[in-house]
Amino acid sequence: MKEHLAFSTLLEIEDDVANIARWAELISLLGSSPHMIEPGVLHAISHPLTELGRRVDQRWKEAVKATWGQADGPYNRRAALGAISQPR
């Protein structure tokens, strides 16, 4: 039996999703530190977080699109596409 595309897409982002929690813990620890954090250090952290967010967002959209042919019941593709492309 062939694996569904949405399932394989979600498995591919497993590490990135775990990294989101790791980054969140790091930022929490930085925020509760009594030491001053240089703005350049925080700026450096923003680059990998931005890239991580882009990767997860793109793969999530691919997984949702892969399920369109598999959904049972009424499913409005235009509404789903609008929900996917709109920032939260």
Domain layout of the chain by residue ranges: 5-85
Output the tens digit of pLDDT for each of the chain's 88 residues: 566 777 787 888 889 989 999 999 988 888 888 888 888 888 888 889 999 999 999 988 888 887 775 544 344 455 555 555 554 4
- State pTM to two decimals: 0.60
- Residue by residue, what is the 3-state secondary structure of the chain? CCCCHHHHHHHHCHHHHHHHHHHHHHHHHHHCCCCCCCHHHHHHHHHHHHHHHHHHHHHHHHHHHHHCCCCCCCCCHHHHHHHHHCCC
- Residue by residue, what is the 3-state secondary structure of 39-50? HHHHHHHHHHHH
Run of H or E including 70: none
Half-sphere exposure in the Cβ direction for 62 (13 Å, CA): 16
pLDDT value at position 67?
78
pLDDT value at position 80?
53
